[in-house]
A and B are shown apart, each in its own frame.
Chain A
């Protein structure tokens, strides 16, 4: 099988998956709770207002028509309008998404770099105190709730040492960098605004470390196990017998062969990453998709919830797809 046909096949496989997801979200939010429009109004509402409300949202139509409107809208990037302010949800999300993206990017980078480095160290000090210490760290951080770790870090760095801000994305006394991507650090870089870059980095640091630390445990364990496994393999011993240096053997052999499962894990962890982002954003009061979702839930804004969940779902599908393709590209045994 060529890489190309593999990619085509994999992309085609994603389509029914996404369709299933979209349908499921639709059903769960419309059919299971009963009438979402009615639910939006907590207390009794007069029938005329409810009717007008439904009409505005297109919820007066038969359910299958709503379903096709929903799919048709999605095809052109229309997520419908919010039950709360009738503004397009896609606009809401576009405003909130960069903060989440920025947080997840830095968190995953931190989690992978830190987790892999610790995993390598752990495997190289196998069964010695350093190894046990690192493994314990991995287990503890894996088990610790995000908001709890976030609060501890806020306390240490924000309140006690007072070196880092603990709230929001940017210093309210200054204007954020000119919007290009919406991610402050990236925009500051693109506009070569060092001042804004430093501020933005200081604000994103604690949330990223919080989320990254919670996620890194799994990478520590995965790296360690895979390194220990590959180090024992014949081809690693054979490489030693050829006089290759420790560096080449550790990184070029053991880690390189342990890297594919790590990459798969990045894909698999992406859903957990988004879930963690929701809690991190709440803890650090970041205006991202996570806080948006919580906000929508609080307002019983079912269309808003639907739009956000759909975006989360599509994101996870895309990341998994990309990771699978990368995997195939990097592993010569599949690449053929």
Chain B
């Protein structure tokens, strides 16, 4: 199996007037072809920042400080001004032009809010024309529109609606349009950043279902960012739990849900309501995530951790192999 994506020791920081906040801290991940990685964690833990660094699109004033992002490309990409040879490509070493050719065609990104992710001044068809022509200027408008109609129909949107404008669509439909735009160029890697958070539960379920089907159909490798763990249980092959920019735990989905290793993972799972056990007492995690500008010493989770030991306040736990076939960063493990 080919590794479509390899992230090595990635560090991303935001420098603001208050100081420097490390939003992604030494994250390493490997993503095999056709796998779905779920990325979860509390709000502000760096999920979006990590996702967007993969296309080198970190929002201002964020900066990728160090690390490596290797994307595998299965065909040569040529355009007027250059080429990218197939094989492993280091995203951080690409120039603006090369990045532009990768964005949208090799890596697609679906944003959280479909209501604001489409240009209100342009018809849906125009969005499809632009993305196709950005990657291949020889494509005629008509051709691009035909392709758009096919894609929209495969997502259950009438072909004739290509001429409509974003405000004429509901939230769920717009997110389908966004997915269509993400898939029209057949990317290798799809990053979906909370794609269903702003939708109601029924539409959410439909869209997730459709995404799972499309993933099979297009042979996609996917990163699904969410704070809804229930969603991941159904769709992800592996789940990574992030806490304050760090990977706390990474494990195959089943293992993670059945046998969480990190106290933070466990706490997160406890806080998910379970309809089959309405009597279950919901646990919430006491305290709040630490301030990223002034992080605590030792393990970042220690101030909130029920199992905190002396060492947790002094030493940062390394990410080590866990018994369940994953990785965990916690002092409870690895010492005999």
Contacts and interface: CB of A to CB of B under 8 A. Distances in A.
Q: Do A and B come from one complex?
A: yes
Interface of A: 233-235, 237-246, 248, 252-253, 256-257, 331-333, 336
B62 to A, nearest CB: 12
Contacts of A256: 119, 121
B131 A234 contact: no
Given A242-B104, A243-B105, A244-B134, A237 B59 contact: yes
A329 to B, nearest CB: 12
Contacts of A233: 116
A70 to B, nearest CB: 45
Contacts of B116: 233-235
Contacts of A238: 109, 111, 117-118, 178
Contacts of B105: 243
6 contacts: A234-B113, A238-B111, A241-B109, A243-B105, A332-B121, A333-B120
Which 9 pairs from chain A and chain B are nearest by CB?
A: A243-B104, A242-B104, A243-B103, A234-B116, A241-B109, A238-B117, A332-B165, A242-B131, A235-B119
A299 to B, nearest CB: 51
Contacts of B312: none
A246 B100 CA distance: 9
Contacts of A237: 57, 59, 111
Contacts of B134: 242-245, 248
A229 to B, nearest CB: 13
Contact of A248 (B57, B59, B123, B130): B130
Contacts of B123: 332
B119 A257 contact: yes
B57 A240 contact: yes
B63 interface: no
B101 A243 contact: yes
B256 interface: no
Given A241-B104, A242-B103, A336-B167, 10 more contacts: A233-B116, A234-B111, A240-B103, A241-B57, A241-B103, A243-B103, A244-B130, A248-B134, A256-B121, A332-B167
Main SS of chain A's interface residues?
Answer: helix
B135 interface: yes
Contacts of B165: 332-333
Nearest to A230: B119
B225 to A, nearest CB: 14
Most buried by B among A235, A237, A244: A235
A221 B123 CA distance: 29
A234 B117 contact: yes
B241 interface: no
B179 interface: no
A239 B57 contact: no
B184 to A, nearest CB: 9
B103 A257 contact: no
A238 B108 CA distance: 10
Contacts, number: 74
Contacts of A253: 119
Interface in B116-165: 116-123, 130-131, 134-135, 165
B306 to A, nearest CB: 39
Interface centre among A234, A238, A240, A252 (most CB of B within 10 A): A238
B16 to A, nearest CB: 14
* Size bracket of the B interface: 20 to 34
B277 to A, nearest CB: 38
A244 B178 CA distance: 15
B247 interface: no
Nearest to A234: B116
A273 B21 CA distance: 49
Nearest to A244: B134
A333 to B, nearest CB: 5
Nearest to B101: A243
Contact of A257 (B102, B111, B121, B135): B121
B56 to A, nearest CB: 10
A331 B111 contact: no
Contacts of B130: 239, 242, 244, 248, 252
Contacts of B120: 235, 257, 332-333
A234 B103 CA distance: 16
A245 B111 CA distance: 19
Contacts of A248: 130, 134
Contacts of B96: 246
A253 to B, nearest CB: 6
B121 A239 contact: no
A256 B120 CA distance: 10
B300 interface: no
A241 B190 CA distance: 11
B131 A243 contact: yes
Nearest to B118: A235
A38 B100 CA distance: 76
Nearest to A335: B165
B181 interface: yes
A259 to B, nearest CB: 9
B55 interface: yes
Contacts of A333: 120, 165, 167
Contacts of A257: 119-121
A243 B100 contact: yes
Nearest to A259: B121
Contacts of A246: 96
Nearest to A245: B134
Nearest to A239: B119
Contacts of A243: 100-105, 131, 134-135
Nearest to B167: A333
Nearest to B117: A238
A246 to B, nearest CB: 8
A97 B273 CA distance: 75
A244 B133 CA distance: 8
Contacts of B100: 243-245
B106 to A, nearest CB: 9
